[in-house]
Structure formats: C-alpha cells, structure tokens
Structure 1
Amino acid sequence: MAAEVVGEALLSAFLQVVFGKIYSKDVRNIIRRKKLDNTLLENLRIKLLSAEWVLNDAEEKQIKNRDVRKWLANLKEVIYDADNLLDEINTEALRCEIEGESENTSQQVLNFISTPFTAFNRRDVESKIKEILKRLDFILQQKDFLGLKVGVQNKPPRRTPSTSLVEESAVYGRNDDKNAILDLLLSDEVGGNKISVIPIVGMGGIGKTTLAQLIYNSDDVMNHFEIKAWACVSDDFDVFGTTKIIFESITSQTCDITDLNRLQENLKQKLVEKKFLFVLDDVWNEDYIEWDKLKSPFEFGSCGSKIIVTTRSDKVANMVRNVLSYTLKTMSEDDCWLLFVKHAFGNIEPGESITAL
C-alpha cells in the first residue's frame, strides 16, 4: 500500500505537466492546422482542473480510505492516457515543423519521429479525447459520494518533533558543512547585523536537522553563546507555543503564562545584553507578519546573537534571512555507503562480499 500512496502523491505534480502540454503553442497550432474540435481540448482542460481542485483532499484521505485510493488510481490512469494522447499530438506537430523547415529531411528521421503517429487521423484523435472526457465525467461524479472537498490545502506530513540530541558517531560527511556554519556563528559581525538569521535549506531527509544538531552541541558553540534554545516549529507555526518553548528552555522552568505579551516581555528580560543561539527547526511558515511577531523579543539580545532556521522552502529562507542562506547538498557516495553500513550492521564489520559491492 505504501507504494500506492507514494505514487498517488505524485499525481498533482504530474497533472501540472499535462496542463503545460495543453497550453503549449505546438498543441494549439496543430489543433488549428488539422481542424480538430478545439472545444474538446478546452473541455479536457476544465475537467482536469475540476480533478485538481479535489486532489489535495483525496491524497490526504487515500491513506485511510480504500475507496479514495481506488478513485485516485482510476484518475491517474485516465490522466496518463490524456498525457499519451497529447504526446501523440506533439509528435505530429514536430513532424510538421521539420517537414516545413527542410524538404531534404531524411526519410529515416521522419519515420523515427512519426512513430507511432505516422498517419494523423483527426477523427481518431477526437474520438480518443471524447472517450477520455467520458471517463473523467464518470470519475468526477464520484467525488461527492466520497466526500472529497474542493480547495483543501496540502500540508506536510506530521512527524515526531525533533530535539537537539544527536549521536555524532552516526553522522557522516557533514564536517565541511558544520565548519562553514560555525564560521558564521562564531563571527560577531556577519553582514553588519546585530542578530543574524542563517537559514539551512535543502530537500526533506537530506540532513538539515542533523547538521543543526551537530552545530548546536559543538564545544565552540557552548563556549561562545550565553544562552541556547532549540524549538521544532514544523508546519503549525504557533508564535505563542514556540515562544514558550524557548522561554522554558532558557529558564529550565515550566511557564504558566497564557498571555503572549507577558510571555514575550519575560523572554525579552532574559535576553537583554545576552548573546544567544536559537535553532528553529523545520519551518514552513511563509507569513512575514507571524515571523515578525515571533522574533520581536529576540531583537533585545546582544550583538553577535544568531538564529538558525532549517527549512525545505527557499521562499521561507528568503523571508527570514538577513545573511546568505546555506544550501545543503547531498552527501558523497562514499559517505552514503558509510551511513548505510552503520545502520545495517551497527558496530559489526560487514563481510567481504558486502564490502565488495
């Protein structure tokens, strides 16, 4: 089932590719040139848009609902057929373009690009579009029965909140990244900012959190900053909740304050003239007003204070940063192999046959 769920989760991205082909100039030109019924292509676009409007909700519900999972599988099949048909039309457009550019084009090249659409049959293409529209109609009629809602926003999957703890012996290939960010953290003048916000950006699972954990626990950081705090923010950007986590972390006490203003006033007093390092892990928020509310008490810290923000989103990084973002790259093959061996065999040396691979 996991493979099915992953496959369906990619459908929304694939649908954008199909829209791109529908909107393409080549497809539009060949529709006019071959005198195909343009309303069929427009109806196809509208039907696919209707499917897209409920796709986010369907992709969330498929995990627990077998009927929704089947519905998505049927939708995926018809979208793939529509894509194949658009590819055939594109192939015909390319053939016509090459024939028009050069009458001396070799027959071998023409035969190659014409396969499998050597004879472009207008009625056959229109018939295929009508069949796809009929199937889409049938699929879309089922969305209300399945309780699929329009306009549901896709949220990142929830995961267990991260902590600052890390097993350093199990981390490979990040020394250069660690040292590069440490250089930024230990400099009191980064870009002329009193308090620097350094985003670590990269795709999910690449190691942003692990890198931040390594830095957070380094001896250099412990000796350089008077105050440290770690907060896993995730997709639910809660200004009050994150402020409370930071306050409780630096005071080592439970906080019963329920008013944001009082809480931030108390945090401000703790930060005045203190050099701090905060790590905000897994940030998704793109609302600058919310970000500005969160960081308002941070401004009272001492010059040289730093905030590390880990995120998958360049948009988030550009919103929060006041220095250049640090883009985390994938590890080398050798380091990936060492990591695999560590997880697969622990402290036991793998046999020669495994090492030879």
Structure 2
Amino acid sequence: MAEVVATMVVRPLLKIVMGKASSYLLDKYKVLKGTEEQHEILMRKLPAILDIITDAEQEAGHREGAAAWLQAIKKVAYQANEVFDEFKYEALRRKAKKEGHYNDLGFSVVKLFPTHNRFIFRNRMGRKLHKIVQAVKVLVAEMNDFGFKHQQQPLVSKQWRQTGHDIFDPKEMIRKSREKDSKEIVDTLVGQANNVDLTVVPIVGIGGLGKTTLAQLVYNESAIQKHFNLLLWVCVSDIFDVDSLAKSIVEAAPPKKDDGEEAAGTKAATASKKTPLDILQNLVSGQRYLLVLDDVWTREVDKWEELKDRLKHGGSGSVVLTTTRDKGVADIFGTVKAYNLVPLDDKFIKEIIETKAFGYFQRKEDIPNALMNMVDEIVKRCVGSPLAAMALSSVLRNKTSK
C-alpha cells in the first residue's frame, strides 16, 4: 500500500499543473506573452504523460527505472506548480490594477515578484518555463524508451456530485495550522527593535510546507505593519544578481508623492547617475524596514555580503526575513537561529484530505468505509505536506472502491 500511495501523487500533481497552466486568466491578462511556444509544448507533453501514467505506476512496483522516472516527473511537477502560481499571481495583480482594486487587495504593499516591469517579468519567467519544458522533453523521451502504454481509466460513479461542502481554502488551512509559527516569528522580528545591526531571520523547510504562505501571514500581521516604517517583498528564486535584486527591492517600495513634474524629472535625472545599490542604500537609510527575500537558493557569500553591505544602512530594528529549502543558505544568510518549519500536524492533513477527497458526497454516511479506513495511512504518507495532501485527496475523490 505504501509504495502505491507514494506514486499515486504524480497524476493529481500533473492535473493541478495543467489546470493552472490552462487558466483563462493567463491568457486574458497576457502574462504568457513571449513564452507562448514553450507553453504550447508543455500543454502537449503533459497530456501525453498522463495518458500512460497508470501503466507507469503499475510498472513502478517491480521496475526500479520506472519508479525513478515517476520520482523525476514528480519533481518537475512541483517546480511547474510553483512557476504557474507565479503566472497566476501576476495575472491577478494585473486584474486588480485594471479593475481599480489594486490598493484594496493589498497589491500596492505585498509584491511577490522581483519587479512588475513586464519586460523583465517576461524574461525571468521565460527562463523558468524553458527549463521546465526541457526537463519534460527529456522525460517524454525516456517514457517512450520504457514503452509505457495507455490504459483506459474507469468512469467515475454517478454518485459523485459537488455540494457546498466542497469549498476548500488551502491558505486558510495554513493560517490556522501555522498560527503558533506566525506568532513566534512576529515576536522575533519585533523583538529586534533596539538592535542596531541588521537582523536576518531564515525560514527553512522542504517544498510544499507553506514557507511563503507563512511569510505572507507574518508580513500582513498588524503588529508588523505598525512596527516597521517600510515593508518590502521580492521573490529571488534561482537568480541572485546583486544589481537586479537591488533594483527589484527599490521597485517593491510604495511609491512616494512628488511635488510636481519638475521635481520628478530632477529626481529621475539624479537617480540615473547612481547604481542600483546606491539607490537601495538611499531607500533604506534611517528606515526601520522589513525585507522579505522569498525562495532563496544561492550560497554565493560574496554576492550576499555585497547586498547586505547596503542593507545595513537601515534604522535600528531592521530585519531581512528569508525563505529557503536549503539549510546551507540559512547558515550563510542568517544572523539568528533559523526558524525550521516543521511538517503540519496530522489533524490538519486529515482535515485537508477529508474535505477535498469526500467533498462530493452529500452526506458523510455515503462515504465508503473502505476509503474512510485508508485516510489515516494516507495522512502518514503525506509526512505533513499540505501540497501532498491536496494531491492525494484529489486521487481519492475519483475512487469509489479500495
């Protein structure tokens, strides 16, 4: 059973990615502009993989190569999931701006991307999507070498029907489950008020635990909003170019009111003579700020020290909060003990599974006992990952028998 559950996660993950990749928002707000070709290739390759995934899952039980191939598919699916989350967020940001809800929804404060310049966004996301597509192409070639074949999927029973019970908000679940973590991190950040040195607090944890969501919860806490004069958020990911990152941090700052066009022109002319790091230093000087560097991967000490040298000019109590999967990164960046994000408690994982997996049933009594009896074992296999719980519960909702 354990081996079966370990490989079952691949199909729903791929379906989650396909759902996000085909969202009408991406097309409507043109966030895929410049990456259309890569997107089209991906949308052809993923269904081809789904066609044979059942055969691959069955083969994985007695072929090590097939099992390794499924693990590689799962890794790429996780990466693609994060990429299309970024595309979706950008689409929602543009939607909010177009409809005049930009400030109401907090987009003027929380900025999850290095820049909102469309050209830079397009280039950055194009590189990410290209990397995903290249990996998928290799996996499809290997898929053909294995000789996996399509197997007809059984039809879903008519007893499944959507009800109001099937409403699920993963972020709300993480908010409830991470309340203690959020409070501890907020206390740490606010507790640095009299520290004249820059404090760097890393949040460390494996993918799928909700590090970014936790950082968002902390960022939006009223105590944080009141404590810091300046709040900044950028997503770093795989490229840590000091000048580009400095520019992104500056662009993440709330716009300042100018005294007029002449003042604005003078300011722009002055700024053009300065380097991005000079402008960053000027931005933070004397300000008690919170900067979130989300999804940091680099271990390049020299680059970090170069950026940190400018960030140190902030006022007393300034803090950089980072999220990373790499403990080595936390050791390099952190000035205090890293906050190690532990897996979710089983009760929250169970709630995710039961809500998503059985949301189609009108009454709890209608749920087959055989499926209910599997839940505790599924919970254990999720090892505290909310993303894994959502993926596996998506499998269960299509099944009416063990």
Band of TM-score, shorter chain: 0.5 to 0.7
Tell me, yes or no, if structure 1 residue 176 matches structure 2 residue 180: yes
Distance 2:245 2:67 in 1: 31
Contact 1:283 1:309 in 2 (8 A): yes
Distance 1:261 1:10 in 2: 48
CA RMSD in angstroms, aligned pairs only: 3.9
Deviation at 1:67, TM superposition (A): 6.9
Q: Deviations over 1:226-261 (max 9, x none)?
A: 000110000111222221221012143799899895
Tell me, yes or no, if structure 1 residue 63 matches structure 2 residue 160: no
Tell me, yes or no, if structure 1 residue 234 matches structure 2 residue 237: yes
Deviation at 1:320, TM superposition (A): 0.4
Distance 1:73 1:261 in 2: 57
Q: 2:335 matched to which residue of 1?
A: 322
Q: Deviations over 1:104-159 (max 9, x none)?
A: xxxxxxxxxxxxxxxxxxxxxxxxxxxxxxxxxxxxxxxxxxxxxxxxxxxxxxxx
Task: Select the residue among 315, 319, 331 that pairs with 2:344.
Answer: 331
Q: Deviations over 1:26-81 (max 9, x none)?
A: xxxxxxxxxxxxxxxxxxxxxxxxxxxxxxxxx9855214674158759xxxxxxx
Task: Select the residue among 220, 223, 228 that pairs with 1:217.
Answer: 220
Distance 2:171 2:323 in 1: 19
User: Closer, same or farther in 2 for the Cα pair 1:347/1:245, shift >3 Å?
Assistant: farther
Letter of the 1:335 partner, please give it: F
Distance 2:312 2:196 in 1: 11
Deviation at 1:355, TM superposition (A): 11
* 1:236-315 alignment, distance < 5 Å: 236-252=239-255, 262-315=275-328
Letter of the 1:201 partner, please give it: V
* 1:1-357 alignment, distance < 5 Å: 1=49, 7-8=68-69, 10=71, 61=134, 63-65=136-138, 68-70=141-143, 168=172, 171-188=175-192, 194-252=197-255, 262-340=275-353, 351-354=364-367, 357=372
User: Closer, same or farther in 2 for the Cα pair 1:223/1:334, shift >3 Å?
Assistant: same
Contact 2:174 2:214 in 1 (8 A): no
How many residue pairs are counted as aligned between the two chains?
Answer: 219
SS at match of 1:171: helix
Identity in percent? 29
Distance 1:167 1:290 in 2: 33
Letter of the 2:202 partner, please give it: P
Distance 2:365 2:321 in 1: 42
Q: 1:30 matched to which residue of 2?
A: none
- Unaligned residue ranges in structure 1 (runs of 5+): 12-58, 75-165
Q: Which has the larger radius of gyration?
A: 1
Distance 1:188 1:282 in 2: 23
Q: Which has the higher contact order (CA 8 A, sep 6+)?
A: 2
Letter of the 2:290 partner, please give it: L
SS at match of 2:239: coil
**TM-score normalised according to structure 2 size:** 0.47
User: Closer, same or farther in 2 for the Cα pair 1:272/1:338, shift >3 Å?
Assistant: same
Contact 1:201 1:328 in 2 (8 A): yes
User: Closer, same or farther in 2 for the Cα pair 1:347/1:274, shift >3 Å?
Assistant: farther
**TM-score normalised according to structure 1 size:** 0.52
Distance 1:176 1:63 in 2: 39
Distance 1:273 1:339 in 2: 45
